[in-house]
Amino acid sequence: MSCADPKKVRASAGTAAVLGLIACSAEVLPTTAYFLLGSRCRRDCAFCPQARSSRSRADLLSRVTWPEVALDTAIERLASRPVKRVCLQLTDSRDAAVAVDAFLGLAKTIPVCVSATGIDLAQAARLLRDGVERITLPLDAATPEIYAQVKGQPRWDITLRQLEELAMSFPGRVGTHLVAGLGESEEEFLRTVDRLVRTGLTVGVFAFTPVAGTKLANRPQPPLDSYRRLQVGHHLLRTGKGDFTGFRFREGRLVATGLDRRDLAEVLADGEAFRTSGCPDCNRPYYNERPGGTCYNYPRPLTAQEASREVEAVVADLAPRRGGLLERRWRLVISGAAPAAWNMAVDEAMALVHARGLTPPTLRLYAWNPPAVSVGYAQSLAEEVDLDACLREGVQWVRRPSGGRAILHDREITYCVIVSQSALPGDLLATYRELAEGLREALRELGLEAVPVPRTARPQGRSSACFEVPSAHELVVAGRKVVGSAQVRRAGVILQHGSLLLEFEPERLVRLLKDPSLTAERLRARAAGVGELLGRAVGWEEAARALQAGFARGLHISFSEGCLCAEELELAATLRARYETPVCLLPPANEGAGVP
C-alpha cells in the first residue's frame, strides 16, 4: 500500500494527526481522511513525486508527506467518524486497486471515495458498485498537447472519453482533477472546465506546485491573480451562475465573465469560489501551499475580511469601474439592403451624430442592393475598378470613408461599429484587436474557430483585393480570411466596418478589378465564405444573429434594437449625393477639402 508492509498504509500527515497517530500542529486539519495506496506508479507524470522516474522522496504526493501508519489502527479510528469521508489515492500499480477492499467495510458508515490513476472502466464501475461513493480519474491537463508533454499515455482524448462514459453511467458520482499552470491559457483551461461540467463531472481545480526531484521542479506556480480568475470561472460554471459563452478573453486571458460589477460581487461574496474544489468535504489543506504562505485554495470558510479582499480584487480585475465600453448599452440597427451610396452615407452620418452626443454606440448590420464594389478611402475607383465590367454585371461602385482595399458586396453581410474613442481607448491596432474579439465570437457562434493571422502567413506585396491580404489585426479560419475590416477616426469617433463573406466568388471579383496580377486561384487559397468552411449554406439572418451575439459576448456589452434617428436620416440624405458624384472616382488628394 505504497509501503512494503501490507499491514501498513500511508496516510497524509494531516490525516494521521486527525486520527491521533502522529503529533502535528497545523492551523487547519483535513475534513477528509486521505490514504495513498499502491506501490511506485508505473506512469511518469512530470509533476508527480510518485512518478516512476521521479527522484523525490517516496513519502511525498504533491508537497504533502504521507507517513506509514498501521492499517488496522487507521480503520479502527475511522470507525468513530472523526472525519466526514475517506479518500483513497491510487497509484497506477498492480496492488493499488486490491488494497481498496480493506476500506470498503467502512462504506456503510462513512463515504469512501477513490482517486485512481490507471484503472480501466470496468474496474471503476466495479468499485462504484461495491460501495465506493465517488470515483475520480485525474485528467490533470487542460489540453491534449499539454497532456502529451506532462502525462504521456494514454492520450488525453481516451481519458476524457472514459470520464464521459463513467459520468453517463453513474451520474453525480464521477469527478476529475485539472492542474492550472502547466502551460495552458486561461481560455483553454476554462473551456475544458466547461466541457467537463456540462458532462456532469465534478472538477477539482489545483494550482501546479513544484516538487524537488520531479521533471517540473523548476517550473513556478501560476500567478495568483490568474489562478483567482480560473477559480471564479470554475465557480460560475459549476454553480450555473455564469456561462462560458458569456466569458470574454483577450489573448487567452479571462477579462470578463458576462456579469456586471454588482452581480459578480454578489455571486462571489461568500468566498466559496476561492475554497478547495472537488468532492464534498474535501479541503486538502496545504496541498498547493505552505502553512503561512500564499493561499491558493482556502481549506476552510473565508473570514469576512478575507472574502472582501479576494472579491474586491477579482471584481476590479474582471469588471473594472470605468464609464466606457464595458458599462455601455449599445444600439443595434438592422437596416436590410440598400444602394451603395446610401449605405456609406448612413455610416458617416451615424459617426457625425454620435460625435454630437445624440446617439449611443451602435452596431449596424446591412446588405447591398444592387451588389457593389467598394474601395478604401486612399484608393482610386477609376484605377482599381473596371467600371465597364461593373456596368455589364449590374454592380455599383463607391469609395468608403474608411481605409482598406476593394470588396465585392454581394453574398455577404456588412457590419458597422460606431463608438467614441474614449469608450474604446488605445491605438489603432489595439482597437482593431478589441473589436476583433466580437468577430471571433461571431464566427464561433456559427461554428468556426478563428485565430489572429500568423505573422509568417501574411502575404507580401500590394493587392487591390481586401480578401487577398489579411492585415495584422485580422482573423483567419483554417488559414483563410473570411472577414475584412477597415477603420476611420474622426471627431473623437471610431467608425469601423467590415464584410463577412457568406459565399466567395473569386472569379467574379477578378473580372471587376483591374489588377492584372490577381487570379481566382490565388484568392480562393487565401479567402473563403463561411458556407464553404461549414459545408452548409449560411443565410443573412443567421449571420446577423451571430454577429449580434458575438459582439455582445466578445465586447461584454448588451444591445437594444433600434433605428436611425431623424438627425441621422436627414444628414445621410445630404451626404448621399457626395457618394454618388463623379468626384468619388478620384483618390482623396484630388478632392475638395470638405470631402471625407
- The residues that are catalytic are 466
The alpha carbon dihedral of 178, 181, 182, 186 has a sign of positive
Would you say the C-alpha torsion 545, 229, 88, 51 has a positive or negative sign? positive
CA-based nearest residue to 47, from 38, 66, 60: 60
Phi then psi dihedrals of residue 66, to 5 deg: -130, 85
Residue type present at position 265: A
Which candidate, 236, 349, 210, 227, places its Cα nearest to that of 290? Answer: 210
In the block, cell 466569458 appears at: 247
Pairing of strands 85-90, 68-70: unpaired
Distance in angstroms (rounded) separating the CA atoms of residues 482 and 475: 8
Give the integer Cα–Cα distance in Å for 356 and 348.
13
State how far the Cα of 131 lies from the Cα of 108, in Å rounded to an integer.
8
Task: Pull the grid cell for residue 1.
Answer: 500500500
Among candidate residues 353, 374, 500, 372, the one with its CA nearest the CA of residue 420: 353
Q: Can you tell me whether residue 71 is helix, strand or coil?
A: helix
DSSP per residue, 270-333 = T-GGGB--SSTT---TTSSS-TTS--SSBSSPPPHHHHHHHHHHHHHHHS---SSGGG-EEEEE
Q: What is the DSSP letter of 379?
A: S
Distance between CA 499 and CA 467 in Å, rounded? 10
Among 65, 59, 158, 169, which residue's Cα sits nearest to residue 122?
169
Report yes or no: 230 and 178 within 8 Å, Cβ to Cβ. Answer: no
Give yes or no for a contact between 139 and 163, defined as CB atoms under 8 angstroms apart.
yes
What length does the chain have? 596
Starting at the edge strand found earlier in the chain, the sheet holding 8-11 runs 68-70, 8-11, 32-37, 85-90, 112-116, 134-136, 174-180, 202-207
Query: How far apart are the C-alpha atoms of 448 and 219, rounded to whole Å?
Result: 34
Query: Peptide bond before 588: cis, by omega within 30 degrees of 0?
Result: no
Terminal CA-to-CA distance of the chain, rounded, Å?
A: 79
Q: Which of 79, 82, 75 is nearest to 99 (CA)?
A: 75
